[in-house]
Structures are given as structure tokens and as C-alpha cells.
A and B are shown apart, each in its own frame.
Chain A
Amino acid sequence: MSTDPEQLRRSQVFPLDRVLEVIDALPGGGVILAKVEDVLNWGRAASVWPLTFGLACCAIEMMQFMATRFDADRVGIIPRGTPRQADCIIVAGRATIKIAPIVRRLWEQMPEPKYVVSMGSCATCGGPFYYDNYSILKGIDQVIPVDVYVPGCPPRPEALYEGFLKLQEKIRKEPFLRRRIAASAQAGG
């Protein structure tokens, strides 16, 4: 390990110098063999771009999550303003029956593969307070399929972080190319 402070700081983020040690020890050094899918998934997991679509209170914690102290940029989470550029939608807050078709439409506008993070109790199940209510949708999963549920009212930014780490874990394990090939074969391609 290096003793240079700059190197040490970097190695906390990603242990680059140790990677080189491993690579140099390999026969024919500098070459790593991996499955194409794994490499693609590695890249996809490191750049999950969510759509900025705040509904209610949880949106404020989502803003904190993307701002100074928690800084979602460092795990590759960069908010996008339009669904066409987004990989993932964070449903932050309570969804009313009036907004539900719009959430659905936004989700449909996103390119595949796409993911949904349900943030907070309201988006997950209608919330701790709105059980006897006529206007709130009892869970966003009635409208769009959810990948990760983040509980809390509202969840702390750390909790949303955990949710995104779980989502990244899921993306890394996904047989994403094979599923696509199978789908196109099924469609008669």
C-alpha cells in the first residue's frame, strides 16, 4: 500500500493500486477475462440515473440525498429532468389517484431496462396515515412494478442510499442480455 496521502484517499474510494498488484500477477498481465454481461452490468450499476419527480415530503429527503452531505453523485446517481434519459424513477411521496396515471405514463416513457424505487410508506402501501382516505393511492405498486421499497415516513437519505445499493446489487446480478435475446427470439426475431 502507498503512504502518499493522495493515493490513500483515492484508495478508500477504489483500491486502484491493489487492482494493479492483482493484474500484474496474472499471466499475460493487464488482461482480464470476463463475461460481456458482467462488464455491462458493472457499468450499468454504476450509473443509475433517476428521474427527478418529487411528489410530496419524501422529495425533500430525496433532494437532500442528491445534495451536499449525502452526495449521490459519488455512486453514479445523477438526477435527470426527463424520463427519456432516466433509468429509474423514485416515487417519492404519496401518490393520489389523480397523479397515478401520470406516474404510469412517465414510467412508460422511460427506455428499457428501467427500475422503480418506492420511497416512503405512502408510495409503498398508502402510508401510516392515509388508510381511511379517499384520494390517496394505497401503494404505487398498483400502477407500476416496484423493484426496491424504502420504508420510512419519510426515509432518511441514508435509507434511500441503502435502497439504491440494493438496486445496484440487483442490476449486477441481472441476466440482462440473455433475457433480451430470449425476448426477441420469442417475438419471432
Chain B
Amino acid sequence: MPVRTEELMLNMGPQHPSTHGVLRLIVTLDGENIVDVQPDIGYLHSSVEKMMEYRTYLQNIALVDRGMDYLTAMANEEVWVLATERLAKIEVPERAKYIRTIMLELQRLSSHLIWWGTFGIDLGAFTAFLWAMRERERIMDLFEASTGGRLHHVYFRIGGVNEDLPEGWTQRCAEFCDYFMNRFPEYDQLVTGNPIFQARTQGVGVLPRETAIAMGACGPVGRASGVAYDVRKAHPYEVYDRVEFDVPVRTEGDCFARYLVRMEEMRQSVRIIRQCLEQMPEGEIRSKVQVALKVPKGEVYARTESPRGDLGIYLVGDGTDKPYRVKIRAPAFSNLYALTEMMCGWKVADVIAILGSIDIVLSDVDR
């Protein structure tokens, strides 16, 4: 007698320890094999694009902190002020550019540390989480000293930054860089070289290069699949054209490659911070911009490399102090789009590993 089998629908989330927020995955299973994955998003939709039309350019800095990717508040501020400055043709002082670059790279470190810790939890290594949080607290101290905030900083201003760095901050930042670089051998011993970790990630969830390009995968996800594209190199902003750094690219396209790309990115971030601290000139931190800034008619597209990838803002100004239309191009959204391609054909236990490796933030996906 033939055995009759049928496909099974499985709901994962929105409350699930490892969905990194409020994502619901509707997984279709054939036995233990994944046939189809449909992400159900929108559980954190906060209509930030519409709200931005009702706030002035200055007020929107505080809004993009929360409304967009909350792990990388300063990357959001950066893309917003960059778009506004380009449309209003505002010059930024040299020192402010360096301060911004340092802050952006520190933000990248803190974001990647959260990813490293939660990826560890996903695969059963709780110590990784505790270690990542230990290092992140030191970055939070640096942020607190300079911006006053831990998570949402509202530090960047149109035409510069809010306040100059406090006394001794550069010294503390340099000390942190040394401290952090010494932690990498520990990380490699704990997680990277761990045979269980490698078995769960190597060769799992492969995203081929062509599919990555077709799906619009960007940032570390794209670079792990061999797409050698980094906005910091391709369209340099702030002082990225004046510092030396490498863009890690791997061709395997699996979870382990995405892991290695992010680990190398953290090392490169420290390298950028060290160069910026050395090169940073004295001087003004903010050019004179009126509070109720009226931006001329026109449209502009600004793009930056946020820790999750190619983050862009399309801004239309209509001559008033409020934007006419804002469109956010979120990197996590396009990376989530490639998820179905990565997951099909793998076992249900690999869902967690693959989802953890693409490092999504639902606030960025839903906006």
C-alpha cells in the first residue's frame, strides 16, 4: 500500500525567540524539507515615510532614528542629512565629516556585535551573546559621552554635528579600538573555529551570485555571494575616499561566508576609525544653517552603506520647510526578499541559521 503524504504548513513567529523581531514565516514543509517560505511582514509598520512629510527637516532627524533601522540610528541620520544637504547645497566642515565617519563605523561595530550575539544564540552559543554585549556596552559608553544617547542619538545635524567631541574622547576611542582588536582571537576560538558552528553554517543556505543580483541582495549578504559592491567605495560620502580599507568579498554565498564577511568588516571598521582619529583636523563642527530650513524645489537620491547594506533615501523638496515626499530604500527589505531563494530545499532546522545569517531588522523592513 503506498504511503500518502501531504505538505505541511508551519507558522514561525511572530513571537519566536529567533525571528529577530516580529517576522512571521509561513513555511511549507515536505517532511522535514522546506518547499516554500513566505515571509509575512508589516508587524512593525510605523508609516515613517508618511510621517516625515508632516515634520520639518530638523525634526525628521529624530524620527529616522526610531522609524527606520533602530540598530543603526546614526546610519539613518547620515542618509537623511546627506540627502537634505545635497538638495539644499549645504557644505559640511571637515571636522564634522570625520566625526560622522567615526560615529558611523562605531555604529557598524555595535550593529554587527548585536548580530554576532544573536546569531550565536540562534545556533545555541549563549556565551557569544554575553561577550558581544560586553563589548557593545563600551561602544554605548563612547556614544553616551559624545551624543548623550545610547540607542537613539539625534547627533547629526544638517550641515554638521550637534556638539564637538568631549575632552579625552579620542583617547578613549583609540583605547577601545585596541581593546576590541584583542578580542577577535577569542571570538574566533569561541565561534568561528567551532566545529558545531561550522557544521551548521558551511554550505547551508547558498545564494548564488546571479540570484543575489536579481534579488537585489546588498551589503554583507551580497558580498558573501561574490557581489563586490560597497557604496563606501563606489559612491564615497563623508571621508571614505580618504581612508584606506578593504571590502571583504567571498564567493561561497553560504551562511558561513556571510559570517566571515561581517567579521572582517568589523576589523576594517576599526581600521577606518583609527585612520580617522589620526587625520581628524581641528575646527568648526557645524556650518550655519537656519533652524526652519527651507529646501529648494527639486529631487535627490542619497545612498550610504549602512551595516545591513545599501541604504538610500529619495527626497523630493517643494520649497517649504517640510519634505514633499520621502522614499526609503531599505537594505533589510531586499535581503529578506532573497530569503525564499536561500531556504528552499533545506531542512527546517536550517531556517534559524539562514535567517540569523542575513541579519534583518524588522523596523527596517516594515518602516
Contacts and interface: CB of A to CB of B under 8 A. Distances in A.
Contacts of A69: 133-134, 137
Contacts of B63: 129
Nearest to B114: A60
Contacts, number: 91
Main secondary structure of the interface of B (DSSP, over half): helix
B62 interface: yes
Given A57-B66, A60-B70, A133 B43 contact: no
Contacts of B137: 64, 68-69
A135 B51 CA distance: 11
Chain B, interface size category, equals: 20 to 34
B17 A153 contact: no
A136 B366 CA distance: 12
Interface in A51-99: 51-57, 59-61, 63-64, 67-69, 81, 83, 94, 96, 98-99
Contact of B71 (A60, A81, A99, A106): A60
B46 A68 contact: no
B62 A129 contact: yes
Interface string B142-161: 00000000111000000000
Given A60-B151, A69-B134, A102 B46 contact: no
B47 A133 contact: yes
Given A135-B46, A153-B66, A81 B151 contact: no
A164 B150 CA distance: 20
Contacts of B22: 55, 99
Contacts of A134: 47, 50
A61 B363 CA distance: 15
B54 A57 contact: no
A130 interface: yes
Contacts of A81: 17
Given A59-B21, A130-B51, 4 more contacts: A57-B70, A60-B71, A64-B140, A69-B133
21 contacts: A52-B17, A54-B21, A56-B363, A57-B66, A61-B151, A63-B114, A63-B117, A67-B134, A94-B46, A99-B43, A102-B15, A102-B43, A106-B15, A127-B66, A129-B63, A129-B66, A133-B47, A135-B45, A135-B46, A136-B47, A153-B66
